[in-house]
Chains A and B, each alone.
Chain A
Amino acid sequence: MSKKIGDVILDLQNISLRFGGVKALTDISFDVREHEIRAIIGPNGAGKSSMLNVINGVYHPQEGRIFWHGQERKNMEPHMAAQQNIARTFQNIALFKGMTVLDNIMTGRITKMKANFIEHALWFGRAKKEELEHRKKVEEVIDFLEIQHIRKTPVNRLPYGLQKRVELGRALAAEPSMLLLDEPMAGMNVEEKQDMCRFILDVNDQFGTTIVLIEHDMGVVMDISDRVVVLDYGKKIGDGEPDEVKNNEDVIKAYLGAGH
């Protein structure tokens, strides 16, 4: 890969997260560098999704500090992450089921649209202009993901693989600087996986987007990621480049132990 990996842009220090008695994350520290593809792996229930949720403010860790571009973040709410240009997809598809593909992706650009509801109601001023401008951007995303043919289809009528792709589209529409992907290839067949890999690499390549990726498919992870964090039972047991991690004793044990 010819891309240039930059400085640390996200730094998590000593994060601990509990749900009642369940310790989802225990004292975890790791960082993410600009333009890299950073994978988080681990057995089921290891705390991977929780980690993403901490990064974009859906869950609030009881302990630990988070630095974004060197600045400490406090009292993070999810919508603030969006304002800081962090976008994500979800493990269980979280599309807006009652809306079309186009509307779902348009919604991805909502923080960039400034017209207020009165302008919308009267359809004047910025309202109309914005709608057209952003439509153009959204069409670019649609072209990029090759989903032109389902533009006007309600998302709940789409097969699973396409829904995942639309969800990626919604995240991309925000032109994020960092993209969090929670098992983007789960439940896909080989061909769909290949497509998805290609999209992820292209995004990283063409737009320089930093990517944090959770994935169970080891082949994929080792192939496309620059660095890997390994979690097990909420603890970090490995961190480094794919080859390093692959040969880490603890990691091998955790994976064998969990029956992988």
Chain B
Amino acid sequence: MLYREAGQFKTTYAADQQIFPIRQDRIGIIALLVVAFIGVPLFASEYWFSAILIPFLIFALAAIGLNVLTGYAGQLSLGSAAFMAVGAYAAYNFQLRIEGIPILVSFVLAGLTAAGVGILFGLPSLRIKGFYLAVATLAAQFFIVWCLTKFPWLSNNSSSGVISTQKLIFFGHELTTPVEKYLLVLSVVVVLALAAKNMVRSSTGRAWMAVRDMDVAASVIGIKLMPTKLLAFAVSSFYCGVAGAMYAFCYLGSVEPDGFSLEMSFKILFMIIIGGVGSIMGSFLGAAFILLLPIFLDVALPFVADLFGLPFASATVSHIQITVFGALIMFFLIVEPHGLARLWQIAKEKLRLWPFPH
């Protein structure tokens, strides 16, 4: 009976409407934050920061962005990576063109730029739905990447659009080590994740979900479809934009437009399918899963092949990876459409009853 709701009677609606209404969850989250902010920096190695933790947090943020749009507002997008690209290039240009602009300000402006572009590409959603819209978001994917490649001004005339990001100056101090970058990314992601959670549990989120579940009923209730959908596009693109800016500044340091490929958009989509469509926490779980799986396969496959004495080509690893991704997507959609987040919830419910299974 480690995890129990019983006995925690809510005597006020305020108590019932907290962000984490169950005490154990609150404790868990606080513990997690303590570990993330203090424990991890003390113990993790450089490899963990730069190859796993930083990209994990950044992709989790992008996945939250996509989840807002697809999971909550029900507008399927296949162009998330392009909005990350907008964010990355916008942040670069703000740093480049505005003397002494603080890095966080340029991240926010990058997010806002992406939000603007998102609204533009969200306009078709007012007239088309479902697959049509999904296909329309591909227009964003291809057009944005093309623009970044072709308009030299956007990459300060570098060849084929490659940019190298400026120094990360944070209150006069240059962030150089992976730990520092990690802490910056972590702070941004935590703040934005909380903000997202707040939005989806309030009437903003309910309006999104109403539009997702039954748009006619939503409008009959008084929800204006146009602003609601466009807000979802804007917020989603903002998140992807900030994620893109950090992807460039805190993770890779140098990016090219083609790096923000359709492939990457799919990856983010897979994160929310596997993690949990319509779940903020699912976005984290999905990002972790999709990033760790290839690493795991890289290690495990040669080992397995060795064990059975099979010949092994490294091209095969990538094929197996793709196959496993595809199979997992189908598997989750069939078996657990709410993804890892739901599994986690079920586990909690089991735990709640433990050790008396009734």
The stretch among B94-102, B147-155, B200-208, B257-265 that forms the contact with chain A is: B200-208
A135-B13 contact in complex given A78-B216, A110-B223, A121-B196, C-beta closer than 8 Å: yes
Q: How many A residues touch B, CB cutoff 8 Å?
A: 40
Q: Which residues of A contact B222 (CB under 8 A)?
A: 79, 81-83, 110-111, 174
Q: How many B residues touch A, CB cutoff 8 Å?
A: 33
Give the complex CA separation of A83 and B198 in angstroms.
Answer: 26
- Which one of B207, B221, B231 has the highest number of Cβ atoms from chain A below 10 Å of its Cβ? B221
Q: Which residues of A contact B199 (CB under 8 A)?
A: 117, 120-121
- Which one of B195, B206, B217, B222 has the highest number of Cβ atoms from chain A below 10 Å of its Cβ? B222
* A-B CB contact pairs (8 Å), 21 listed: A58-B216, A78-B216, A79-B222, A79-B224, A95-B214, A96-B209, A96-B218, A98-B213, A103-B206, A108-B221, A110-B203, A110-B210, A110-B221, A110-B222, A116-B204, A120-B203, A123-B19, A131-B202, A131-B203, A132-B13, A174-B221
B347 to chain A, nearest CB (A): 19
A99 and B13 contact, CB distance less than 8 A: no
A96 and B213 contact, CB distance less than 8 A: yes
Q: Which residues of A contact B350 (CB under 8 A)?
A: none
What 4 A-B pairs come out closest when comparing CB atoms? A82-B222, A111-B222, A94-B217, A96-B213
User: B17 contacts the other chain (Cβ, under 8 Å)?
Assistant: yes
Query: In the complex, which of the residues B13, B198, B207, B209 contacts A121, with contact meaning CB atoms closer than 8 Å?
Result: B198
User: A220 contacts the other chain (Cβ, under 8 Å)?
Assistant: no
Contacts between the two chains (Cβ within 8 Å), count: 110
Give the complex CA separation of A77 and B223 in angstroms.
Answer: 11
Give the complex CA separation of A187 and B343 in angstroms.
Answer: 35
User: A106 contacts the other chain (Cβ, under 8 Å)?
Assistant: yes
Instruction: Flag A61-78 by CB within 8 Å of B: 1 or 0 each.
Output: 000000000000000011
User: A97 contacts the other chain (Cβ, under 8 Å)?
Assistant: yes
A123 and B198 contact, CB distance less than 8 A: yes
User: A113 contacts the other chain (Cβ, under 8 Å)?
Assistant: yes
Give the complex CA separation of A3 and B324 in angstroms.
Answer: 68
Q: Which residues of A contact B225 (CB under 8 A)?
A: 79
User: B87 contacts the other chain (Cβ, under 8 Å)?
Assistant: no
What residue in chain B is nearest A106 (Cβ atoms)? Answer: B206
User: A107 contacts the other chain (Cβ, under 8 Å)?
Assistant: yes
Q: Which residues of B contact A26 (CB under 8 A)?
A: none
Q: Is the interface of A mostly helix, strand, loop or mixed?
A: helix
Interface residues of A in 117-150 (CB under 8 A from B): 117, 120-123, 127, 130-132, 135-136, 139
Q: Is the interface of B mostly helix, strand, loop or mixed?
A: helix
Give the complex CA separation of A98 and B73 in angstroms.
Answer: 11
Q: Which residues of A contact B217 (CB under 8 A)?
A: 90, 94-96
User: B278 contacts the other chain (Cβ, under 8 Å)?
Assistant: yes
B220 and A88 contact, CB distance less than 8 A: yes
User: A56 contacts the other chain (Cβ, under 8 Å)?
Assistant: yes
B220 and A81 contact, CB distance less than 8 A: yes
Interface residues of B in 109-143 (CB under 8 A from A): none
User: A170 contacts the other chain (Cβ, under 8 Å)?
Assistant: yes
Residues of A within 8 A of B (CB): 56, 58, 77-79, 81-83, 87-88, 90, 94-99, 103, 106-108, 110-111, 113, 115-117, 120-123, 127, 130-132, 135-136, 139, 170, 174
B203 and A99 contact, CB distance less than 8 A: no
A170-B221 contact in complex given A99-B209, A103-B206, A110-B206, C-beta closer than 8 Å: yes
Give the complex CA separation of A122 and B197 in angstroms.
Answer: 10
B213 and A58 contact, CB distance less than 8 A: no
What residue in chain A is nearest B231 (Cβ atoms)? Answer: A117
Give the complex CA separation of A107 and B220 in angstroms.
Answer: 11
Q: Which residues of B contact A110 (CB under 8 A)?
A: 203, 206-207, 210, 221-223
A99 and B213 contact, CB distance less than 8 A: yes
Q: Which residues of B contact A122 (CB under 8 A)?
A: 195, 198
Give the complex CA separation of A103 and B218 in angstroms.
Answer: 13
Give the complex CA separation of A77 and B210 in angstroms.
Answer: 17
B214 and A96 contact, CB distance less than 8 A: yes
Q: Which residues of B contact A103 (CB under 8 A)?
A: 206, 209
User: B235 contacts the other chain (Cβ, under 8 Å)?
Assistant: yes
A107-B202 contact in complex given A56-B220, A83-B222, A95-B217, C-beta closer than 8 Å: no
Q: Which residues of A contact B209 (CB under 8 A)?
A: 96, 98-99, 103
Q: Which residues of B contact A106 (CB under 8 A)?
A: 203, 206
User: B219 contacts the other chain (Cβ, under 8 Å)?
Assistant: yes
A107 and B210 contact, CB distance less than 8 A: yes
- Which one of A58, A94, A97, A170 has the highest number of Cβ atoms from chain B below 10 Å of its Cβ? A94
A64 to chain B, nearest CB (A): 20
Q: Which residues of A contact B198 (CB under 8 A)?
A: 120-123, 127
A127-B202 contact in complex given A96-B213, A121-B196, C-beta closer than 8 Å: yes
A139 and B220 contact, CB distance less than 8 A: no
Q: Which residues of A contact B204 (CB under 8 A)?
A: 116-117, 120-121
A107 and B195 contact, CB distance less than 8 A: no
Give the complex CA separation of A97 and B198 in angstroms.
Answer: 21
Give the complex CA separation of A78 and B210 in angstroms.
Answer: 14
Give the complex CA separation of A121 and B231 in angstroms.
Answer: 13
7 more contacts with CB within 8 A, not counting A58-B220, A96-B210, are A97-B213, A107-B210, A107-B221, A117-B235, A130-B203, A131-B203, A170-B221
